[in-house]
Amino acid sequence: MARLSHAQARREMVERQLVRRGIVDAGVLQAMGQVPRELFVADDLARYAYDDTPLPLANGQTISQPYVVALMVEAARFGRGDRVLDVGTGSGYAAAVLAQLASKVFGVERYAELVHTARQNLARAGVTNVEVFEGDGSMGLPQHAPFGAILVAANAPAAPHPLKQQLAEGGRLVIPVRADGYQDLLVLTREGDKFSEKNLGPVQFVPLVGEQGFRDTRGGGAGID
Ligand code: SAH
Judge whether residue 192 has pLDDT over 50.
yes
123 falls within a domain? yes
Atom 16, ligand 1: residue with shortest CA distance: 88
**Structural domain harbouring 158:** 53-202
141 falls within a domain? yes
Which atom of ligand 1 is least distant from the CA of 153? 9
**Residue of 45, 109, 134, 185 to mutate, ligand 1, most atoms within 8 A of C-beta:** 109
pLDDT at residue number 179: 66
Judge whether residue 225 has pLDDT over 70.
no
Query: How many separate domains does the chain show?
Result: 1
Backbone φ/ψ region at 183: left (φ over 0), alpha (ψ -120 to 50), beta: beta
- Reported as a pLDDT band with limits 50, 70 and 90, residue 220 is very low
25 falls within a domain? no
18 falls within a domain? no
Atom 26, ligand 1: residue with shortest CA distance: 88
Identity at 214, one-letter amino acid code:
F
Helix pair 66-76, 26-34: axis angle to 10 deg:
140
Mean pLDDT on 160-165: 98
149 falls within a domain? yes
- Reported as a pLDDT band with limits 50, 70 and 90, residue 218 is low
Q: How far apart are CA 24 and CA 74, in angstroms?
A: 8
181 falls within a domain? yes
List the one residue out of 84, 58, 71 whose CA is nearest residue 32.
71
3-state DSSP of 48-62: HCCCCCCEECHHHCE
Residues in contact with ligand 1 by the CB-under-6-Å rule are 61-64, 87-91, 93-94, 108-111, 114, 136-138, 153-154, 206, 208-210, 213
Judge whether residue 47 has pLDDT over 70.
yes
CATH number for the domain spanning 124: value is: 3.40.50.150
Mean pLDDT on 121-125: 98
CA dihedral for 59, 67, 103, 150, sign (positive or negative): negative
Judge whether residue 9 has pLDDT over 90.
yes
pLDDT at residue number 219: 46
Alpha carbon of 87 to ligand 1 centroid (Å): 6
- pTM for the model stands at 0.95
Judge whether residue 182 has pLDDT over 90.
no
Alpha carbon of 216 to ligand 1 centroid (Å): 13
pLDDT in tens, 57-78: 999 999 999 999 999 999 999 9
Give the residue numbers marked as catalytic: 64
99 falls within a domain? yes
1 falls within a domain? no
